[in-house]
């Protein structure tokens, strides 16, 4: 069974952390992964930097730009991760845009992911229809889960289609939340979380965007299987480097 699905079957709420590969420094990638697992993170999203990251906020964009300047690219990331499964056992997901995968070759990209032990991909700019028609078979051939996204604006019909195509969890984007806010989610976001929870989809949901502290993590996971922290963790890396990862994770859990 895919490690993502194994993790989803556990009783505990999932804490997933996103960071940009090659940031703050080019060769920090594996150390950050190891330190996150060692300190209790359940799942990691490794951002593959791209020059035009349309779905990312300013903090992630800045880290992605710096990573590219540091020399990060698809092949460098694969080279860095080639032995990662000797020291890391939790699910690893690569999050990136479709263009670098097309340039590498979609099947070659999937094959390489399988070889090094990547469990899934998140590709915000790959429409679910195109994925289902053209790439789903390839992903499944290499045992990869494609994590699909929904937002508060996604129609019920579309959500049900995404649920039918999914073979892992659904990434539930909380796009109405305020990045960096310490006051938690408002009633609009909570109503959205509850509405999706009440649909009883077959795929568990993990909430991302706007999760930045213990309060928002707990608030999100009242309605979902887990939550994802990205910008807030990258901000911590910007301020502290890799020195205080343990303290950061401890403050959330």
Could you list the active site residues? 45, 56
Cis peptide before 250 (omega within 30 of 0): no
- Cα-only R_g, the chain: 17
* Three-class DSSP labels, 188-215: HHHHHHHHHHCCCCCCCEEEECCCCCHH
146 beta partners: 121
How many helical (H) and strand (E) elements, i.e. helices and strands, does the chain have?
Answer: 13, 8
C-alpha 103/C-alpha 101 separation (Å) is 5
C-alpha 223/C-alpha 100 separation (Å) is 34
Please name which of 251, 168, 241 lies closest in space to residue 216, comparing C-alpha atoms: 251
């Amino acid at each position: 069974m895919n490690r993502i699905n194994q993790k989803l079957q556990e009783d505990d709420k999932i804490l997933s952390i996103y960071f940009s590969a090659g940031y703050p420094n080019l060769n920090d990638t594996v150390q950050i992964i190891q330190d996150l697992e060692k300190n209790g993170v359940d799942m990691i999203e490794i951002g593959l930097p791209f020059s035009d990251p349309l779905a990312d906020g300013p903090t992630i964009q800045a880290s992605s730009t710096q990573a590219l300047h540091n020399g990060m690219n698809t092949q460098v990331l694969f080279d860095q991760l080639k032995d990662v499964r000797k020291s890391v056992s939790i699910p690893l997901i690569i999050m990136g845009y479709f263009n670098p995968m097309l340039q590498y070759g979609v099947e070659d990209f999937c094959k390489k992911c399988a070889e090094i032990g990547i469990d899934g991909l998140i590709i915000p700019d790959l429409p679910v229809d195109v994925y289902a028609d053209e790439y789903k078979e390839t992903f499944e051939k290499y045992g990869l889960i494609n994590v699909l996204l929904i937002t508060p604006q996604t129609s019920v019909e579309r959500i049900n289609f995404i649920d039918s195509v999914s073979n892992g969890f659904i990434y539930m984007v909380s796009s109405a939340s305020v990045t960096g806010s310490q006051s938690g989610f408002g009633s609009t976001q909570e109503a959205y979380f509850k509405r999706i929870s009440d649909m009883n989809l077959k795929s568990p949901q993990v909430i991302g965007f706007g999760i930045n502290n213990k309060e928002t993590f707990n608030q999100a996971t009242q309605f979902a299987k887990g939550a994802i922290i990205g910008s807030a963790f990258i901000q911590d890396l910007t301020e502290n480097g890799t020195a205080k990862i343990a303290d950061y994770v401890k403050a959330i859990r």
